[in-house]
């Protein structure tokens, strides 16, 4: 058996049953492949599954997605993080309707020019949805291909060449997904499960360079994240108990998401920008305590203040019932809402 036969045989019997995978290859829906690949960027499969199901139920095809308001798309993305993905996804759907009559292009070089579609996603769509002879090089695939070949620290172009050499001619889509599955199930970045790995007989690192596998298990010093500080305000209107929410600017962190009003987040905790408007309303009873949140590049400590106002306040925003707003909030703001 050659390498790709071993890999595909394993895939046929052990592949993960995922809601975006279509067992009948003739029924593969490029729309679902695209949505899943965007959601899976920097997010685990387990986290994506419930979001994918809800998203596809509400936006079952590209026409419906393109016609929808971005605010609603963001609502279905709330909690998944990296919100620029949702904005790009929406913009991409509109461009596919306008420029390609709603039909996804099949050419990698055209796909790559669409919003939110990079090298990896374009290759994944071509390989998985259109069964083209392409390799989608994500971190899992890079790791598995490097280890099978016992070639470490190679650049992406070199790893891609090695992958192309063993890529199945007939089933490149399945082959890509098989390598992704092996990477996530067995060939983990640390403590790979080589003894039960389905491809250990063809893995050159396992065969000839076990020292390399011992080395990767050694602890590397964890880089400390910087801490940022900010203030956040729970502003409740007395007559109907609704809370004041703002939409964050469309560019930047949590872009376009519904949020409680907050200050800028800064590194110097003694110099958090304050607002006279809010400061005048804060009393000793206002402090609801800090909440801690982790972003990919920094940790945030947010001081939350509770403010009750009689009727109006001079700040632009929407007054919304807290329970109605909760489903639209990103994870950070859900934590703030839970202090109420
Ligand atoms: S044998 Fe080990 S190193 Fe080789 S592919 Fe499998 S898990 Fe990875």
Mean pLDDT of all residues in 118-133: 96
- Categorise residue 226: left if φ over 0, alpha if ψ from -120 to 50, beta otherwise: beta
Which position among 5, 22, 37, 91 bears the catalytic label?
37
Look at residues 249, 250, 234, 255 and name the one whose alpha carbon lies nearest to residue 313: 234
**CB atoms near residue 164 (< 10 Å):** 13
Mean pLDDT of all residues in 307-333: 87
pLDDT band at residue 145 using 50, 70 and 90 as cut-offs: very high
Mean pLDDT, the chain, rounded, equals: 92
Predicted confidence at residue 311, as pLDDT, reads 66
Q: What is the tens place of the pLDDT at every residue in 182-218?
A: 999 999 999 999 999 999 999 999 999 998 888 888 8
- 224 has catalytic annotation: no
Predicted confidence at residue 138, as pLDDT, reads 92
H or E element that contains 214: helix 210-217
Predicted confidence at residue 113, as pLDDT, reads 97
Q: Is the pLDDT of residue 307 over 90?
A: no
The pTM of this model reads 0.86
Mean pLDDT of all residues in 208-235: 88
Mutate to test the pocket of ligand 1, among 206, 214, 215 (most ligand atoms within 8 A of CB): 206
pLDDT band at residue 316 using 50, 70 and 90 as cut-offs: confident
Tokens 């990296």 belong to 82
Q: Atom 2 in ligand 1: which residue has the minimum CA distance?
A: 194
Rg over CA atoms, the chain:
24
| Cβ atoms of residues 7 and 170 within 8 Å | no
Helix H, strand E, coil C: the string for 141-197 is HHHHHHHHHCCCCCCHHHHHHHHHHHCCCCCHHHHHHHHHHHHHHCCCCCCCCHHHC
E strand map for the chain: 226-237, 243-247, 258-259, 287-294, 298-309, 318-320
Q: Return the structure tokens found at 37.
A: 């690949």
Q: What is the tens place of the pLDDT at every residue in 260-306?
A: 999 999 999 999 998 777 777 777 777 887 999 999 899 999 999 98
Binding site membership of 179 for ligand 1 (Cβ less than 6 Å): no
Task: Show the domains of the chain with their CATH numbers.
Answer: 3-217 (1.10.340.30), 226-337 (3.90.79.10)
Q: Which atom of ligand 1 is nearest to the CA of 203?
A: 4
Q: Find the 214 Cα to ligand 1 centroid distance in Å.
A: 12
Q: Find the 203 Cα to ligand 1 centroid distance in Å.
A: 6
Q: Is the pLDDT of residue 143 over 90?
A: yes
Predicted confidence at residue 216, as pLDDT, reads 84
Query: Higher model confidence: residue 311 or residue 139?
Result: 139
Q: What is the tens place of the pLDDT at every residue in 80-107?
A: 999 999 999 999 999 999 999 999 999 9
Mean pLDDT of all residues in 10-24: 92
Q: Is the pLDDT of residue 173 over 80?
A: yes
Binding site membership of 199 for ligand 1 (Cβ less than 6 Å): yes
Mutate to test the pocket of ligand 1, among 178, 193, 203 (most ligand atoms within 8 A of CB): 203
């Amino acid at each position: 058996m050659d390498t790709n036969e071993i890999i595909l045989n394993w895939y046929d019997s052990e592949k993960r049953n995922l809601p975006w995978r279509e067992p009948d290859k003739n029924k593969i829906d490029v729309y679902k492949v695209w949505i899943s690949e965007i959601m899976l960027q920097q997010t685990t499969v387990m986290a994506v599954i419930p979001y994918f199901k809800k998203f596809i139920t509400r936006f079952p095809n590209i026409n419906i997605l393109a016609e929808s308001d971005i605010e609603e798309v963001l609502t279905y993305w709330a909690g998944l993080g990296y919100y620029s993905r949702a904005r790009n996804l929406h913009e991409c759907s509109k461009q596919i309707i306008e420029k390609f009559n709603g039909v996804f292009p099949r050419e990698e070089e055209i796909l790559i020019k669409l919003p939110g579609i990079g090298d990896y996603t374009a290759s994944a769509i071509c390989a998985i949805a259109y069964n083209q002879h392409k390799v989608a090089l994500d971190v899992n695939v890079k790791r598995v291909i490097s280890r099978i070949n016992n070639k470490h620290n190679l650049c992406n172009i070199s790893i891609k060449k090695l992958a192309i050499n063993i890529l199945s001619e007939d089933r490149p889509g399945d082959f890509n997904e098989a390598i992704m599955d092996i990477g996530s199930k067995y060939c983990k970045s640390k403590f790979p499960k080589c003894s039960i790995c389905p491809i250990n007989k063809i893995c050159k690192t396992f065969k000839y360079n076990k020292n390399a596998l011992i080395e990767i298990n050694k602890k590397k010093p964890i880089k400390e994240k910087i801490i940022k500080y900010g203030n956040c305000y729970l502003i409740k209107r007395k007559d109907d108990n609704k809370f004041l929410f703002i939409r964050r600017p469309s560019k930047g962190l949590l872009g376009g998401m519904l949020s409680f009003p907050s200050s800028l987040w800064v590194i110097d905790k003694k110099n958090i920008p304050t607002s006279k408007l809010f400061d005048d309303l804060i009393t000793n009873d206002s402090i609801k305590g800090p909440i801690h949140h982790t972003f990919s590049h920094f940790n945030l400590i947010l001081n939350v203040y509770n403010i009750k106002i009689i009727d109006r306040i001079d700040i632009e925003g929407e007054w919304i019932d807290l329970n109605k707003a909760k489903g639209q909030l990103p994870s950070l703001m859900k934590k703030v809402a839970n202090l109420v």
